[in-house]
Chain A
Amino acid sequence: MGAAMRSGQVYLLHRVNPCVKLLAAVTVVVVLTFVFDPLTPAIVLLLTLLAGRFLGGLSFAAQLKPMLVFFIAGLAILVANILFNKENAVSPAVVDLGFLRVTRAALWAAGSLWLRLLLFALVSLVFVKTTSPQDFILSLVHQLKVNYRVAYGTMVGYRMLPLLVSDYHTIRAAQRVRGSSERSGLLHPWWWLRRFAIPLLAGAVRRASRVAVAMDARAFGAFPERTYRVRMRVDGKDLAFLAAVLVVLAVVVAGTWVAGVARFTVQ
């Protein structure tokens, strides 16, 4: 039994073994790290978006909205390159305002960096949104032979994150009622930080030790091995998925290289 039967998902990306999917994602990221033109990452970005939509069932909006911050970062990258790219002096200008020359080299470098940034963010997003944390942890244990004690520790940590966030909001409100003014926060920054950190940590430590006791009370860690109701496996579908990703990636990179666009060095 694999992820398919667990979640009842019809979309392929949800059914692929998490470790295989991770390998595919990491391969895309590593390969594109060494491709320094804007077109190749743009094509892969588009393909990832389509894969997320039609193989992962994520709407375009759901994929693009969380990346808003990376779109904004693109502007900063562009401005920095227009002002500071070291090839600006020798590169032909696309727009010349006299006091400001926007060079081809600057646009090229900014585009390449920005599109790769977007791509890495989108690949991570699609991975996270199509992977159940529980399946991922199990897959780490079953495929990558991660110690199950470590893996379950990670899962408990994952469970606690939302609780920490809600604790933080409660503490902020609770402290505001004590009549604390922002001014005293500016005067005593260390004291101010401690007021949030100590209750937050005290709560987290207490909760963590309670979970540990509850897990031990159910024989956690009794034996070097344990059985699993669901065993994550790698089957033909997973290998076919990985092969398809590699082939598509190779075709895109080879294509842009043959077309003379792809560059594998910064210059």
Chain B
Amino acid sequence: MLGPSGSGKSTLTLCLDGLIPHLVEGDYSGQVTVAGLVVKDNPVHVLAQRVGLVFQDPEAQFCTLTVEDEIAFGVENLCRAKEDIEVAIDKSLATVGLSGFRKRSLTSLSGGEKQRVALASVLALEPQVLVLDEPSANLDPQGTAQVFGLVRRLAAERQHTIVIIEHKLDELIGWIDSVLVLGEEGRLLLTGEKRAVFYQQADALAAAGVWRPQTVELVQGLREAGWEVPGCPLTVEETASALAETPGLVDRLRAWEREETPASQTANQSEVEPLLQATELTYVYPGSDPAAPVLREVSLALPKGSFLAVVGANGAGKSTLLSLLSGVLRPPRGRVFLEGWDVATMAPRVLTAKVGHVFQNPEHQFVSDTVAGELAYSLRPDAGPRALARLTRAQRGLVDVWLERLGLSALAEANPFSLSHGQKRRLSVAAMLIRGQSVLVLDEPTLGQDEAQAQLLMAMVEEFRARGGSVIMVTHDMRLVAEHADLVLVLREGRCEYLGGPQALFGREDLVERAGLAMPPVGRVSAALRVLANTPTGLHTVEAFLRAAGRNLRGFGEGLGDRGCGHA
């Protein structure tokens, strides 16, 4: 199930297991039938044995303290006998591959393990339908791989009907049968077999701001450039073989490698004075064990106008590094320098005027009752709640320009908490950028955002960069890394495992795996194609791939986008 944020996907999932209309109030019309039961005529506890729901935030769906108690919870609610409960716990833990975890405390689990326990706790009720509402949204790539691996196994067993909501489904595309797309205002936009939806309705999806598989974007881009890519490939493997069979493409890529590679690798910025610099930065939280620092000897230099992506598994020290670089946490003396000044000795007021730090949850940074007030406060923090009234004419104009740019002019007087998730996020970024800082630090800014919202946000960030700003961003989205970053810092257990360009990083599969990262989908297509046809590696984005392929001058295929696939 796909659709932009706020299109009603989560509401629809609540309709499937009867929480709507039985427990959530509202106007309800029409009829939902699940596994032969009319939802409106059956109580929630009966439906709970047919439909299992797993939600996005693992912290906000547990109600006990240990794994076994959490799984027992639902079965106990159904008044099952003690022996049956024990059997249900063992069986569902085995299904999710966590048999040894029975006695563990929930707080000791990683994000991926928590989501598997959440899944086990609904599997214990033996539902026929599993509904997963953005199960990977709060997970790092490793956790996502764990959960998706489990979903793939369940899908392959064909015991359950699975409904999954995600903003990005590249990893699961091979296991999906059909796609349902909700549009604005909760209307059904499209539904059908996956190849038909992704290949024949591509324009409608793009217009609705809905994600499309990277493989589809690649194939369609190649077709527009005149390459006759056969079939309608969706998975990485399908796409690689389709590209290998595309007339002339493999030869073109090999030729590109001979011409281009030396030139693209000589991009060198080491001559430039770094804007932000960290030297052998080690950090221990006050009161923690000095022998187990969160960061160990991390060094980096950020040139003006560059984009540094900080990646790594959860708990690797990414957010701590960000906080030390932006001065939210005070770094040790002589370790972090901004424009040559030691950050440890800078006054907070001076530092915040130079470095903007956008936190994960935009709500945490809101200070005002109105959207305009948020922007005004950044310009006059000393005026507190009266910032808007104290602005100069020029500052007032600047606020208006930013409101216009954000598309929030009509909502200038609205409360920031009433905005949509994407609007909140962009407002929090704008509240940082309006002060004209030289460094912008972002902590997983695209988390939980749909395709269109994420693109708008990245456009803001790129515009800031085009005006000479430097960006440091923590993200789990390797596609963003491949498309935007010119430097990547890989953290693993507090140590710097890699610092360099994204091309070289994705070329080292051992490192990507060891650091708990995932290859971007197009990168995997490129790697698979190399195995098949010995083409060059290093094509990790659609853009890079299309640039390497260029236009096919030999054949001008017509109507290639409408090949008769998808009606199977």
Contacts of B366 in A (CB 8 A): 195, 198-199
The count of chain A contact residues (Cβ–Cβ below 8 Å) is 51
Given contacts A183-B382, A188-B385, A214-B55, contact A229 B364 (CB under 8 A): no
Residue with the highest number of chain B CB atoms closer than 10 Å, among A163, A184, A206: A184
Q: Does B29 contact A (CB under 8 A)?
A: no
- Of the candidates B61, B78, B122, the one whose C-beta lies within 8 Å of that of A211 is B61
Choose one: A155, A222, A229; the contact of B85 (CB below 8 Å): A229
Flag whether B359 is at the interface (Cβ < 8 A): yes
A223-B381 in contact given A213-B19, A214-B53, A229-B85 (Cβ < 8 Å): no
With contact pairs A180-B381, A202-B417, A219-B125 given, residues A175 and B364 touching in the complex (Cβ less than 8 Å): yes
Q: Which residues of B contact A156 (CB under 8 A)?
A: 63
Q: Does A177 contact B (CB under 8 A)?
A: yes
Contact of A184 among B49, B89, B363, B384 (CB under 8 A): B384
Residues of chain B lying within 8 A (CB to CB) of residue A98: none
Among the listed A207, A220, A231, which residue makes an inter-chain contact with B77, where contact means beta carbons less than 8 Å apart? A220
A89 at the interface (CB under 8 A from B): no
**Interface flag for B272 (CB, 8 Å):** no
CB contacts (< 8 Å) of B544 on chain A: these are: none
Q: CB distance B364 to A170 under 8 Å?
A: yes
CB 8 Å contact bits of B326-368 with A (1 = contact, 0 = none): 1011000000000000000000110011001101010111110
Query: B378 contacts which chain A residues (CB < 8 A)?
Result: 178-179
Cβ-defined contact, A155 with B64, below 8 A: yes
A181 interface contact, C-beta 8 A: yes
Contact A174–B364 (Cβ < 8 Å):
yes
Closest B residue by C-beta to A163: B59
Whether B57 pairs with A207 at a CB distance below 8 angstroms is: yes
CA separation between A222 and B66, bound complex, in Å? 22
Which chain B residue lies CB-closest to A200? B364
Q: How far is the CA of A218 from the CA of B77 in the complex (A)?
A: 8
Q: A177-B328, A228-B76, A229-B85 are in contact. Are A219 and B45 (CB under 8 A)?
A: yes
A173-B328, A178-B378 given; A223·B57 CB < 8 A: no
Give min CB distance, B114 to chain A, whole Å: 12
Q: Interface residue tally of chain B, by bracket?
A: 35 or more
A117-142 CB mask vs B (1 if < 8 Å, else 0) is 00000000000000011100000000
Give the chain B neighbours of A225 by CB distance below 8 A.
79
Nearest-CB distance from A170 to chain B (Å)?
6
Are A227 and B63 in contact, with the CB atoms below 8 A? no
The digit string for A209-244, where 1 denotes a CB below 8 A from any CB of B, is 011011111111111011111010000000000000
B44 CB within 8 Å of chain A? yes
In the assembled complex, the Cα of A230 lies from the Cα of B44 at a distance in Å of 25
Considering the chains assembled together, what is the distance between the CA atoms of A221 and B78 in angstroms? 9
**Cβ contacts under 8 Å, A216 to chain B:** 19, 23, 44
Distance in Å from the Cβ of A177 to the closest Cβ of chain B? 4
A1 to chain B, nearest CB (A): 9
Q: Give CA–CA (A225, B435) in the complex, Å.
A: 59
Which residue of chain B lies nearest to A187 when distances are taken between CB atoms in the complex?
Answer: B384
A115 to chain B, nearest CB (A): 31
Residue picked from A152, A178, A222, most chain B C-beta under 10 Å: A178
Give A171's nearest chain B residue, CB to CB: B364
Tell me the bound Cα distance from A155 to B359 in angstroms: 30
Contact B377 A178 (CB under 8 A): yes
Is A66 interfacial (CB 8 A cutoff)? no
When distances are taken between beta carbons in the complex, the residues of chain A under 8 Å from B514 are: none
**Contact (Cβ within 8 A) B385 A191:** yes
Closest to B386 in A: A188
B353 touches A218 (CB 8 A): no
Take A134-B65, A222-B77, A229-B72 as given contacts and tell me if A177 and B357 are in contact as well, using a CB distance cutoff of 8 Å: yes
On chain A, the residues within 8 Å of B432 by CB distance are: 177
A218 to B432, CA, bound (A): 42
Main secondary structure of the interface of B (DSSP, over half): helix
User: Given the complex of chains A and B, what is the CA–CA distance between A159 and B73 in angstroms?
Assistant: 15
Residues of A within 8 A of B48 (CB): 217-219, 222
CB closest chain-A residue, reference B352: A179
Q: Tell me, in angstroms, the Cα distance from A184 to B365 when the chains sit together.
A: 16
The answer to whether A219 and B78 touch across the interface, beta carbons within 8 angstroms, is yes
* Residues from chain B with Cβ under 8 Å of A195 in the complex: 366-367
- How far apart sit A218 and B357, CA to CA, in the bound complex (Å)? 40
Contacts of B44 in A (CB 8 A): 216-217, 219, 222
Q: Please, how many angstroms separate the alpha-carbon atoms of A219 and B86 in the complex?
A: 18
Kindly state the separation between the CA atoms of A167 and B63 in the bound complex, as whole angstroms.
Answer: 19
A222 with B43: CB separation less than 8 A: yes
Q: Is A176 an interface residue (CB 8 A)?
A: yes
Using a CB-CB cutoff of 8 Å, which residues 112-153 of chain B contact chain A?
Answer: 121-122, 125
A203 within 8 Å of B by Cβ? yes
B384 near A178 (CB under 8 angstroms)?
A: no
A184 neighbours in B (Cβ, 8 Å) = 381-384
> Is residue B228 within 8 Å, beta carbon to beta carbon, of the partner chain?
no
CB-CB contacts of A147-187 with B at 8 A, as 1s and 0s? 00000100110010001000100110111111111011001
Partner of A218, one of B14, B66, B121, B352: B121
- Among A163, A188, A226, A229: residue with most chain B CB under 10 A: A229
| Contact assessment for A203 and B63 in the assembled complex, using a CB-CB cutoff below 8 Å | no
A179-B352, A199-B366, A222-B77 in contact; A217/B53 too (CB < 8 A)?
Answer: yes
Structural contact, A217 and B19, CB atoms closer than 8 A: yes
Q: Which residues of B contact A202 (CB under 8 A)?
A: 363, 417
Q: From residue B277, how far is it (CB to closest CB) to chain A in Å?
A: 20
Interface residue B450 (Cβ < 8 Å from any Cβ of A): no
Q: Are A134 and B66 within 8 A (Cβ)?
A: yes
Q: What residue in chain B is nearest A208 (Cβ atoms)?
A: B60
B117 to chain A, nearest CB (A): 12
- The CB with the most chain B CB atoms within 10 A, among A134, A155, A210, A216, is that of A216
Does A177 contact B365, Cβ atoms closer than 8 Å?
Answer: yes
Give chain B nearest CB distance to A174 CB in angstroms.
Answer: 4
Give the interface of B toward A (CB within 8 A). Answer: 14, 17, 19, 23, 43-45, 48-49, 52-53, 55, 57, 59-66, 68-69, 72-74, 76-82, 85-86, 89, 121-122, 125, 323, 326, 328-329, 348-349, 352-353, 356-357, 359, 361, 363-367, 377-378, 381-385, 417, 431-432, 435
A-B contact pairs, 14 of them (CB 8 A): A159-B64, A171-B364, A173-B359, A179-B348, A210-B61, A211-B60, A211-B61, A211-B63, A217-B52, A217-B53, A222-B43, A223-B77, A227-B76, A227-B81
Closest 8 CB pairs of A and B: A222-B45, A218-B74, A214-B61, A219-B45, A184-B384, A210-B60, A179-B381, A174-B364
Known contacts A133-B65, A177-B365, A206-B60; 6 further A-B pairs (Cβ under 8 A): A159-B65, A177-B432, A199-B361, A214-B62, A215-B73, A226-B78
* Residues in A lying within 8 Å of B, measured CB to CB: 132-134, 152, 155-156, 159, 163, 167, 170-171, 173-181, 183-184, 187-188, 191, 195, 198-199, 202-203, 206-207, 210-211, 213-223, 225-229, 231
